[in-house]
Chain A
């Protein structure tokens, strides 16, 4: 298919009044929650999910995606001005962005990160446009064995490639898989773990699980966070103009960052945070003066920012072409599509071309809106950072309640949110990051169904999954990741015992 003519068709869809409106709302909200430390894009997308049930599926997707990539732009503002990452993936930007702000170069830092973000996103979109139809064509030959292997790799990848403990993250995946089994079993019709409650026959709602685990638990944790690091800065447009040396040091790191980000974002399990950290490490290694990193090196903000934006776009590749989300936020976006009766997979691009190309076109539009929001209108966000959290969170709690209630008009759903909020908070307290729970929850039923089919086809021979070339490769990758996890766990245990 001719990509460019399809893209033109996509623009026709994205430029409809409704899509344009919700694209704007999406990226603005995304920037807002990116700017405000304490709520990430995961919590924001879960809070907006109920609203999207009332929209056209394409419009819903455009808005949720806008929140997702908009947060990457907003996050860097808080990182640079406050040294508080607005979203986890912009944490690395604090290292060199904040020293620049202290040296009176906040304007330049904001300008450079915005341009780098746009560049990264643009490269990500181009890769998404040309690579997705190709991948979808390959994926059309996949059987349940391949799907099982890819989903398993995604789950194991998401838990082993984290900043925290891989063992704990893997446990969270299993918790999510178990939560996903609650309700009526698809193939036998048996009621599982419902305790006889009819309201659980359809299982837990994705909105309920997501809002409880992320929205509510994050609020409980953040209520006491002090906001001492306030700034009364105003950014004059004049101060945003970079010097000639800045310009010279800009292109290569930004391009490398975009490349790394685009690649990592498309992998199942890895996300923007990993992409940003990796690009930073690469720049530091390549630099002739690595000692200036951490003191306001411009490469230290361009590379990670272009990287996390590229990754936020290419993360849509596995979600839309295989139906397998690589991260918890992507799992939510997939959930939104499922609720609209659209099952993303290899046939999405050919069956719903207006949705795919409309989304791609909205990426271009959304990113251009974001540049406008982040350059001329920067002072709106700078002022918003100063909004105290104790005036903010009661509203978020009410939005969660209303949102959850509005989905099914079911009071029990609101009660379950308390349960999941409490559970999510406890998990955080004990050092378990709850994001993989959601990934397991969404992917669990797919994993079970594909395993069941694969075993049925191969007459109970589990090794047959290893013998097929594509599924075998994925299974080998999963096994390697697990092995790596065990090796590094043993090594850190040894180190721990030697220290004492």
Chain B
């Protein structure tokens, strides 16, 4: 994995995202009745947990900041320690996979499950950049046939195999 020092590969960002997650639960849960210890309301458990998570995230940030302050002179971020190693985010596979799944979600209702599967497999296959287009098309059709055979014929699911919406 290549190591770049940017805000995205900073351990503090990781803790910060989790802190944000816990703040969402704290804020969205403030209207839920907290109740008391012997009559726990619906807000009790999530509020206690999100406070705990927030405290842990802030603690993690504090430790990171303290470590960085201690070795100011050193490039702390470019020398990650073992388990804290941060990878660079690989945007290409991430976006391709997301688009492939979204394509399935968008087409499955109107075109049926087999065309959605073929399209999704094709888009997903582009992510690696290592498969020739001709192979990808073939792979997509094979997967479509497999989905038809296993889910529509074999398991007899209550899904529409294919349709033409227009």
Chain A residues in the interface with B (C-beta under 8 A): 51, 54, 164-165, 167-168, 170-171, 174-175, 177-178, 181, 185, 187-188, 190, 192-193, 195, 216, 219-221, 223-224, 388-391, 393-395, 397-398, 400-402, 405-406, 409, 411, 414-415, 417-418, 421-422, 425-432, 448, 451-452, 455-456, 458-460, 462, 493, 496-497, 500
Q: Using an 8 Å CB-CB cutoff, how does the interface string of B90-109 with A read, 1 for contact, 0 for none?
A: 10011001101110110011
> Which residues on the A side are within 8 Å of B13 (C-beta)?
430
Query: Given that A174-B52, A394-B124 are known contacts, is A496 also in contact with B67, CB under 8 Å in the complex?
Result: yes
> Which residues on the A side are within 8 Å of B120 (C-beta)?
394, 397-398, 401
The reply to whether A395 and B121 form a contact with Cβ atoms under 8 Å apart is yes
The reply to whether A223 and B93 form a contact with Cβ atoms under 8 Å apart is yes
Q: Which residue from chain B places its CB closest to the CB of A403 in the assembled complex?
A: B151
Query: Given that A165-B83, A174-B52 are known contacts, is A219 also in contact with B97, CB under 8 Å in the complex?
Result: yes
> Which residues on the B side are within 8 Å of A391 (C-beta)?
131, 135, 139
The reply to whether A220 and B39 form a contact with Cβ atoms under 8 Å apart is no
C-alpha gap A496/B94 in the complex (Å): 34
The reply to whether B29 and A193 form a contact with Cβ atoms under 8 Å apart is yes
Partner of A175, one of B21, B33, B60: B21
Interface of chain A, main secondary structure: helix
C-alpha gap A497/B127 in the complex (Å): 42
20 examples of A-B residue contacts, CB within 8 angstroms: A171-B60, A174-B52, A177-B45, A181-B45, A188-B33, A193-B29, A223-B93, A394-B124, A398-B117, A400-B101, A401-B101, A406-B157, A418-B98, A426-B89, A430-B11, A431-B11, A432-B14, A448-B45, A452-B45, A460-B37
Query: Given that A190-B42, A193-B29, A216-B97 are known contacts, is A178 also in contact with B53, CB under 8 Å in the complex?
Result: yes
> Which residues on the A side are within 8 Å of B65 (C-beta)?
none
Closest 7 A/B residue pairs (Cβ) = A430-B14, A460-B38, A460-B37, A390-B128, A185-B42, A190-B42, A414-B105
Query: Given that A181-B45, A193-B28 are known contacts, is A224 also in contact with B109, CB under 8 Å in the complex?
Result: no
Q: Which residue from chain A places its CB closest to the CB of B25 in the assembled complex?
A: A178
The tally of CB-CB contacts under 8 A between chains A and B is 202
Q: Which residue from chain B places its CB closest to the CB of A462 in the assembled complex?
A: B37
The reply to whether B52 and A402 form a contact with Cβ atoms under 8 Å apart is no
C-alpha gap A422/B101 in the complex (Å): 12
Partner of A192, one of B29, B86, B127: B29
The reply to whether B108 and A456 form a contact with Cβ atoms under 8 Å apart is no
- Max chain B Cβ within 10 angstroms of own Cβ: one of A177, A389, A430: A430
Question: What's the minimum C-beta distance from B45 to chain A, rounded to whole angstroms?
Answer: 4
Question: What's the minimum C-beta distance from A128 to chain B, rounded to whole angstroms?
Answer: 30
Query: Given that A181-B46, A193-B29 are known contacts, is A429 also in contact with B89, CB under 8 Å in the complex?
Result: yes
The reply to whether B90 and A224 form a contact with Cβ atoms under 8 Å apart is yes
The reply to whether B53 and A171 form a contact with Cβ atoms under 8 Å apart is yes
Beyond the given pairs A219-B93, A430-B14, 16 more chain A to chain B contacts, judged by CB atoms under 8 angstroms and listed by A's residue number, are A167-B60, A168-B60, A171-B60, A174-B49, A193-B46, A195-B28, A223-B93, A398-B143, A414-B108, A421-B97, A426-B17, A430-B13, A430-B86, A432-B14, A456-B38, A460-B37
> Which residues on the B side are within 8 Å of A187 (C-beta)?
42
The reply to whether B101 and A417 form a contact with Cβ atoms under 8 Å apart is yes
Question: What's the minimum C-beta distance from B90 to chain A, rounded to whole angstroms?
Answer: 6
Partner of A178, one of B33, B50, B101: B50
- Max chain B Cβ within 10 angstroms of own Cβ: one of A54, A164, A177: A177
Partner of A431, one of B86, B98, B105, B151: B86
* B149 at interface by CB-CB < 8 Å: no
C-alpha gap A299/B63 in the complex (Å): 42
Interface size class of B (residues with CB under 8 A): 35 or more
C-alpha gap A398/B94 in the complex (Å): 15
The reply to whether B49 and A411 form a contact with Cβ atoms under 8 Å apart is no
The reply to whether A223 and B155 form a contact with Cβ atoms under 8 Å apart is no
Q: Which residue from chain B places its CB closest to the CB of A427 in the assembled complex?
A: B14
The reply to whether B28 and A429 form a contact with Cβ atoms under 8 Å apart is no
Query: Given that A175-B18, A192-B32, A405-B108 are known contacts, is A170 also in contact with B84, CB under 8 Å in the complex?
Result: no
C-alpha gap A415/B97 in the complex (Å): 12
> Which residues on the A side are within 8 Å of B81 (C-beta)?
496
Question: What's the minimum C-beta distance from A145 to chain B, rounded to whole angstroms?
Answer: 14
Query: Given that A164-B83, A455-B40, A500-B70 are known contacts, is A395 also in contact with B57, CB under 8 Å in the complex?
Result: no
Query: Given that A175-B18, A178-B25, A500-B74 are known contacts, is A429 also in contact with B97, CB under 8 Å in the complex?
Result: no
C-alpha gap A91/B39 in the complex (Å): 48
The reply to whether B124 and A405 form a contact with Cβ atoms under 8 Å apart is no
The reply to whether A402 and B42 form a contact with Cβ atoms under 8 Å apart is no
Q: Which residue from chain A places its CB closest to the CB of B38 in the assembled complex?
A: A460
> Which residues on the A side are within 8 Å of B85 (C-beta)?
431
Q: Using an 8 Å CB-CB cutoff, how does the interface string of B73-86 with A read, 1 for contact, 0 for none?
A: 01000000101111
Query: Given that A190-B42, A401-B117, A406-B159 are known contacts, is A394 also in contact with B125, CB under 8 Å in the complex?
Result: yes
C-alpha gap A229/B94 in the complex (Å): 25
* B36 at interface by CB-CB < 8 Å: yes
C-alpha gap A26/B18 in the complex (Å): 37
Question: What's the minimum C-beta distance from A177 to chain B, rounded to whole angstroms?
Answer: 5
Question: What's the minimum C-beta distance from A393 to chain B, rounded to whole angstroms?
Answer: 7
C-alpha gap A428/B117 in the complex (Å): 27
The reply to whether A430 and B17 form a contact with Cβ atoms under 8 Å apart is yes
> Which residues on the A side are within 8 Å of B151 (C-beta)?
402, 406
- Max chain B Cβ within 10 angstroms of own Cβ: one of A174, A221, A393: A174
- Max chain A Cβ within 10 angstroms of own Cβ: one of B57, B113, B122: B113
Partner of A415, one of B63, B105, B136, B143: B105
Question: What's the minimum C-beta distance from A106 to chain B, rounded to whole angstroms?
Answer: 28
> Which residues on the B side are within 8 Å of A193 (C-beta)?
25, 28-29, 46
* B153 at interface by CB-CB < 8 Å: no
The reply to whether B157 and A170 form a contact with Cβ atoms under 8 Å apart is no
